[in-house]
């Protein structure tokens, strides 16, 4: 192996829902490794926000409006990307939502919406890029799974079902298309310090940590929330030739939570 195996020069990486957050962080890492970045989001405002953020970071990115659950829109976007940028070498299925609702209070429509975006979306996206990857003779698909691909937790029944399904979709794409030199792996992020989670990490009026903050820190051997940028390295590895022998694997970037039973109460 050579260190150049980690380079992505000449590769086109499509990261879904990457206008901000962990998608943006991973796409930025792929760009630093040499990839040309393409991303989509659900509306033009988010795409414009993403283009501006990439530009500020010194990255030239190509943004498209597309709903990953709409197969016609996805096929049109992939055709447009192939015409305007080139064939997608790397697909990162990052777009997703979560609804924190107790199961017996969640409607079937709400459940279906989470499944549609978090599981059907990656299926539709992968289905759209695989034919050209087969023709080109290589391809990398990275599905953004979750610790909820392995664990259950109150109020996230739909999310856990979708992410558990995404884990198995990852393994099945590996099984079905590995012979075409296509590697499909997953990344399972831990708890990430983002603007969305900032209220959960604020110091309380009495000087104590937020109860959820205490819970996460106690459950994480690293003793802290993770940074979005810490997902960039794993994404580059799984997108690069350095991981050509890695297929059907879920790489959990969780600070050790899944390996840890937790601290004994005092």
The per-residue pLDDT for range 24-42, each reduced to its tens digit, is 999 999 999 999 999 999 9
Q: Contact 81/38 with Cβ under 8 angstroms?
A: yes
| Model pLDDT, residue 189 | 97
Quick check: is 252 catalytic? Answer: no
| Model pLDDT, residue 194 | 86
Output the CA angle 231-143-150, nearest 5 degrees: 85
| Model pLDDT, residue 262 | 81
| Model pLDDT, residue 14 | 99
| Model pLDDT, residue 1 | 59
Strand, coil or helix: what is 142? strand
What residue has token string 């558990």? 164
Cβ atoms within 10 Å, residue 227: 13
Q: Which member of 159, 177, 191, 252 is catalytic?
A: 159
What residue has token string 């759209």? 128
| Model pLDDT, residue 263 | 77
Task: List C-alpha distances in Å: 87 to 79, 81, 90, 259.
Answer: 9, 7, 9, 38
Can you list the residues of the chain whose pLDDT is less than 70?
1
| Model pLDDT, residue 264 | 73
Rg of the chain over Cα atoms, rounded to whole angstroms, equals 18
Closest CA to 18 of 120, 94, 124: 94
Nearby residues of 264 by Cβ (< 8 Å), 6 or more positions away: none
């Amino acid at each position: 192996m050579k260190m150049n195996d980690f380079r992505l020069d000449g590769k086109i990486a499509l990261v879904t829902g990457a206008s901000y957050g962990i998608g943006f962080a991973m796409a930025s890492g792929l760009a630093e490794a040499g990839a040309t970045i393409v991303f989509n989001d659900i509306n033009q405002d988010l795409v414009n926000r993403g283009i501006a953020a990439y530009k500020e970071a010194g990255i030239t990115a190509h943004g498209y409006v597309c709903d990953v659950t709409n197969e016609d829109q996805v096929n049109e976007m992939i055709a447009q990307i192939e015409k305007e940028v080139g064939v997608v070498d790397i697909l990162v299925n990052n777009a997703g939502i979560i609804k924190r609702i107790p199961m017996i209070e969640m409607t079937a429509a709400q459940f279906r919406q989470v499944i549609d975006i978090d599981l059907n979306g990656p299926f539709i996206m992968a289905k759209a890029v695989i034919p050209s990857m087969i023709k080109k003779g290589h391809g990398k698909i990275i599905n953004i799974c979750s610790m909820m691909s392995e664990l259950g937790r109150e109020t996230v029944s739909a999310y856990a079902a979708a992410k558990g399904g995404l884990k198995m979709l990852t393994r099945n794409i590996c099984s079905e298309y590995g012979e075409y030199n296509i590697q499909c792996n997953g990344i399972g992020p831990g708890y990430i310090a983002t603007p969305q989670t900032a209220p959960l990490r604020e110091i309380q009026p009495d000087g104590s940590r937020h109860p959820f903050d205490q819970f996460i820190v106690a459950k994480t051997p690293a003793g802290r929330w993770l940074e979005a940028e810490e997902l960039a390295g794993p994404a580059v590895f799984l997108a690069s030739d350095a991981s050509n022998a890695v297929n059907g694997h879920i790489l959990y970037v969780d600070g050790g939570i899944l390996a840890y039973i937790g601290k004994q109460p005092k």
